[in-house]
């Protein structure tokens, strides 16, 4: 099925609409599973009853999380809307309830201990997550041109929901960032000497900036250790470090820190927001820095704040 003309049509539609490679892989996975679950019947010959049966199977028999079930639903809605050309509505299925959980937040001492068990680029990534409030994919997708030392800001391009934003560049990270940029320059020069040096970009950017993609500013701040073939356009490029590489180092650091809390890359973002509110930063400023569309999403962090005081200072500046 993976190489079938129909699945090729689905992939083409995803790429035409400029969905990310991660979303493409996810949607292709769920669509294949949906078709196999219904005995390889063509989606055009199916409808609400088959979709409902599949979603109920995920919720009841497979006991998937609410987020996973919603991801599967989004893939199927995409399939019918853009590939089959039919809107799906009035679905009746057993929805998995999303549990209301408070985010895990680290105190300053815990962050400091974890950082002490990280080094090099992994230390810097964790410091950026905590000091700038970025999501892990946003941090790994940073390019040299996104770092503005003069204005002490970091530009986040195409964050969650396709939104761009600016966030803080902590003073305590200026020197480590400058050192990392020097390392990237050395890697890039070596790539150029070997006839490579192209930055990995989405297809739309390739068409627009192809002549500039060998420039130093387009290189990722945290490049992968190996060059690769671009999955869409087939040219040799250097992508960014994979999130699993950082996650592995973070797990080792948390284990060595003897911290009982469940710590992921996103925990640093939660801690960033909480520290800012504790230090008196206006909640709308925090909302802007985090890139939240809805203020209610930001308000979840008010569960630990005390008195509010004026001034916005990055939490990483208190510990580095």
The residue from 121, 135, 143, 239 that is catalytic is 135
CA 95 vs CA 52, 64, 99: distances in Å: 10, 10, 12
The dihedrals phi and psi of 229, each to the nearest 5 degrees, come to: -95, 125
* Percent share of the chain, pLDDT over 90: 68
Q: What integer pLDDT is reported at residue 301 of this predicted model?
A: 82
State which fold the 5-84 domain adopts.
DNA polymerase; domain 1 (1.10.150)
| Phi, psi angles (nearest 5°) of residue 214 | -95, 0
Higher-pLDDT residue of 316, 120: 120
Could you report how far apart the first and last alpha carbons of the chain are, in Å? Answer: 52
- pLDDT tens digit string along 94-148? 766 666 677 889 999 999 999 999 999 999 999 999 999 999 999 999 999 999 9
Is the domain 108-318 a CATH 2.40.50.1070 member? Answer: no
pLDDT greater at residue 121 or residue 230: 121
Closest CA to 269 of 295, 294, 292: 292
* CB-based contact 265:252 (threshold 8 Å): no
Burial 124-143 (b: 16+ CB within 10 A, else e): bbbbbbbbbbbbbebbbbbb
Q: Which residue has the higher pLDDT, 19 or 32?
A: 32
Query: Is 32 among the residues known to form the active site?
Result: no
| Structure tokens given for 80 | 């019918």
Q: Is-contact 243 250, C-beta < 8 A?
A: no
Residue of 261, 266, 284, 303 marked active site: 266
For 22-51, the pLDDT digits (tens) are 899 999 999 999 999 999 999 999 999 999
Catalytic (active site) residue 160: yes
Q: Indicate if the pLDDT at residue 219 is higher than 50.
A: yes
Give the residue extent of every domain in the chain: 5-84, 108-318
3-state SS assignment for residue 229: strand
- State the catalytic residue, choosing from 160, 210, 251, 261: 160
Output DSSP code: residue 152. T
Catalytic, 266? Answer yes
- On whether the CB atoms of residues 115 and 123 are closer than 8 A, the answer is yes
The per-residue pLDDT for 310 is 45
135 counts as catalytic: yes
Q: How confident is the model at residue 1 (pLDDT cuts 50, 70, 90)?
A: low
Active site residue 301: yes
Q: Summarize pLDDT for 291-315 with one digit per residue, the tens.
A: 998 888 888 887 655 444 445 678 8
Q: Among 230, 249, 269, 275, which one carries the catalytic annotation? A: 269
Residue 213 in tokens: 């993609």
Q: What is the largest CA-CA distance in the chain?
A: 61
Between these two residues, 45 and 18, which has the higher pLDDT value?
Answer: 45
| 147 three-state secondary structure | strand
Q: For residue range 163-202, what is the model confidence (pLDDT) as tens digits?
A: 899 999 999 999 999 999 999 999 999 999 999 999 888 8
Residue 205 CA to residue 209 CA, distance in Å, equals 6
pTM of the predicted model as reported, rounded to 2 decimal places = 0.80
Look over the chain and give the mean of its residue pLDDT values, rounded to a whole number: 90
Pairing of β 153-156 and β 236-237: unpaired
């Amino acid at each position: 099925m993976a190489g079938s003309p129909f699945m090729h049509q689905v992939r083409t539609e995803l790429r035409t609409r400029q969905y990310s490679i991660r979303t493409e892989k996810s949607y292709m996975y769920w669509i294949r599973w949906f078709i196999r679950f219904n005995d390889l019947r063509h989606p055009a010959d199916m409808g609400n009853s088959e979709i409902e049966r599949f979603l109920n199977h995920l919720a009841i028999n497979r006991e998937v999380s609410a987020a996973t079930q919603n991801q599967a639903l989004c893939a199927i809605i995409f399939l019918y809307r853009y590939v089959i050309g039919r809107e799906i509505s009035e679905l009746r299925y057993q929805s998995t309830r999303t549990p209301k959980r408070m985010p895990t937040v680290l105190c300053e001492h815990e962050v400091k201990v974890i950082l002490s068990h990280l080094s090099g680029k992994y230390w810097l990534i964790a410091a950026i997550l905590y000091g700038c409030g970025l999501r892990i994919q946003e941090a790994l997708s940073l390019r040299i041109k996104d770092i503005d030392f003069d204005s002490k800001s970091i530009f986040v391009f195409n964050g969650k929901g396709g939104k761009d934003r600016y966030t803080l560049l902590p003073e305590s990270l200026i020197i480590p960032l400058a050192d990392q940029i020097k390392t990237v320059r050395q890697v890039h020069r070596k790539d150029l000497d070997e006839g490579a040096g192209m930055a990995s970009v989405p297809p739309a950017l390739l068409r627009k900036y192809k002549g500039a993609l060998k420039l130093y500013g387009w290189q990722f701040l945290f490049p992968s250790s190996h060059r690769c073939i671009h999955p869409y356009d087939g040219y040799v490029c250097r992508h960014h470090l994979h999130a699993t590489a950082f996650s592995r180092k973070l797990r080792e650091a948390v284990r060595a820190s003897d911290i009982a809390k469940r710590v992921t890359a996103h925990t640093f973002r939660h801690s960033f927001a909480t520290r800012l509110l504790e230090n008196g930063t206006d909640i709308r400023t925090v909302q802007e820095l985090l890139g939240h569309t809805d203020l209610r999403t930001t308000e979840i962090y008010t569960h630990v704040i005390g008195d509010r005081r004026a001034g916005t200072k990055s939490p990483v500046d208190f510990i580095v």
